[in-house]
C-alpha cells in the first residue's frame, strides 16, 4: 500500500509513471467485474430461473436505479450508514486504548484476553436479540452491536502492532527523555499505525455486518429491514438484490476510505 514517493531527481517522470500504473491497476478491477456479471448472467440463462429466484444482472441494475431514484433505498441506507459510522467510531475509540493496555500490561492481558476472545467467538447473531432486549430496537442497540464486532480486530491489531514496534526507536525516545505517554503517542502508535489500520480495514467491513444483524434483531428502518421487507411482504427479489448490492457497495466504500486514510498517513514512509 505504500506510495513510492518520487525522490527529487525527476519528479515529473516518476509521477507520470505513477499515473500509468494507476490506469493499469484498473484493468484487473474491470476484468473481475466483467467476469462476475458474465457468470451471473450465464447462471440465469443456463438455469432458466424465475426472476423471483435469481434475477439477472440487468434486471437488478434496473431495480437498483429505480429504488434509488424513487427513494426506496436512500432513507434505509442513511439509517444503516449512521449506525455503522457511530458503531465503528465507538468501537474503534475503545479498542485502541484497550489494545495499548493489552500490549503494555501483562497483567491486563491475562485479565482481559479470555473475555475479549470469548466475546468475539460468541456469534453476534446469538447476542443481537439480547442486546436488542437491553438497548431497545432503536439506534443504540445497533451502535452497541457494531462497536462490539469492530472492537476485536482493532484491539488485537493495536496490541500486535505495538508489540512489534522497533525497540530501538523506543530506546531512542527514552534517551531523549520521553515519558511513557509521549513514547506511546509520538513513537509507538505512529509506528504501529499500518498494523492498526489493517485491523480497521477488517473492522470497517465487519461494522456493516453488525448493523444488518442489529436491524434483523429488531428495528423500523435500515437496509437489513429493507431486505426483510423485500423478501417477505413485498416479495420483490430484484429489490432484495438491489439492497444487497447497496450493502456491498457500502462495505467496499468504507474499506476504501480506510485504505485512503492509510495511504495518507502511512504511504509517505517509503
Partner 1 sequence: MPRESATKAGRSRETGPLASIEIADLARSFPTASGAPLIALDGVEFAVPDRQVVAVLGPNGCGKSTLLRVIGGLLRPDSGSVAVDGTLVNGPDPRTGFVFQEPRLLPWRDAAANVALPLELAGRPAEERRSRARALLELVGLADFAGARPHQLSGGMRQRVAIARALALEPTVLLLDEPFSALDALTRERFGVELLRIWAETRTTIVLVTHSIAEAIFLADRVLVLSPRPGRVVADVNVDLPRPRRLAMLDTAVVSSTAASIRAVLAGATDEPAPDQIWGLQPAGSAPGARDPLEGVGVAAWFDPFGREGMA
Q: Which residues bind to partner 1, rule: CB under 8 A?
A: 5, 7-8, 168-169, 171-178, 182, 186-187, 190-191, 265-266, 268-270
The whole-angstrom separation of Cα 212 and Cα 223 is 7
C-alpha cell at 134: 437491553
Closest approach of partner 1 to the CB of residue 6, in Å: 9
Q: Is residue 16 within 8 Å of 33, Cβ to Cβ?
A: no
Residue with smaller CB distance to partner 1, 61 or 259: 259
The whole-angstrom separation of Cα 137 and Cα 214 is 8
Residue with smaller CB distance to partner 1, 96 or 187: 187
Residue with smaller CB distance to partner 1, 107 or 176: 176
Closest approach of partner 1 to the CB of residue 8, in Å: 7
Closest approach of partner 1 to the CB of residue 184, in Å: 12
C-alpha cell at 68: 434509488
Closest approach of partner 1 to the CB of residue 240, in Å: 45
Residue with smaller CB distance to partner 1, 46 or 175: 175
The whole-angstrom separation of Cα 224 and Cα 143 is 14
The whole-angstrom separation of Cα 100 and Cα 184 is 8
Q: Is residue 239 within 8 Å of 67, Cβ to Cβ?
A: yes
Amino acid at each position: 500500500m505504500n506510495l513510492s514517493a518520487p525522490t527529487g531527481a525527476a519528479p515529473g517522470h516518476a509521477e507520470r509513471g505513477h499515473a500509468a500504473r494507476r490506469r493499469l491497476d484498473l484493468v484487473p478491477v474491470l476484468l473481475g467485474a466483467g467476469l462476475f456479471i458474465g457468470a451471473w448472467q450465464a447462471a440465469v440463462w443456463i438455469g432458466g430461473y424465475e426472476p423471483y429466484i435469481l434475477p439477472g444482472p440487468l434486471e437488478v441494475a434496473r431495480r437498483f436505479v429505480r429504488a434509488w431514484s424513487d427513494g426506496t433505498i436512500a432513507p434505509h441506507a442513511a439509517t444503516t450508514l449512521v449506525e455503522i459510522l457511530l458503531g465503528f467510531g465507538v468501537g474503534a475509540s475503545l479498542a485502541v486504548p484497550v489494545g495499548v493496555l493489552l500490549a503494555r500490561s501483562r497483567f491486563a492481558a491475562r485479565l482481559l484476553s479470555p473475555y475479549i476472545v470469548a466475546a468475539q467467538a460468541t456469534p453476534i447473531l446469538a447476542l443481537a436479540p439480547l442486546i436488542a432486549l437491553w438497548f431497545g430496537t432503536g439506534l443504540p442497540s445497533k451502535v452497541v452491536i457494531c462497536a462490539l464486532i469492530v472492537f476485536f480486530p482493532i484491539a488485537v491489531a493495536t496490541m500486535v502492532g505495538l508489540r512489534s514496534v522497533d525497540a530501538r526507536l523506543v530506546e531512542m525516545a527514552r534517551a531523549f527523555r520521553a515519558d511513557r505517554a509521549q513514547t506511546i503517542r509520538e513513537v509507538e502508535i505512529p509506528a504501529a499505525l499500518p498494523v492498526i489500520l489493517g485491523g480497521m480495514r477488517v473492522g470497517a467491513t465487519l461494522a456493516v455486518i453488525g448493523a444488518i444483524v442489529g436491524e434483523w434483531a429488531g428495528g423500523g428502518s435500515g437496509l437489513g429491514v429493507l431486505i426483510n421487507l423485500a423478501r417477505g411482504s413485498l416479495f420483490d427479489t430484484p429489490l432484495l438484490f438491489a439492497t444487497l448490492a447497496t450493502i456491498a457497495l457500502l462495505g467496499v466504500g468504507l474499506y476504501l476510505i480506510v485504505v485512503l486514510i492509510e495511504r495518507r498517513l502511512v504511504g509517505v514512509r517509503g
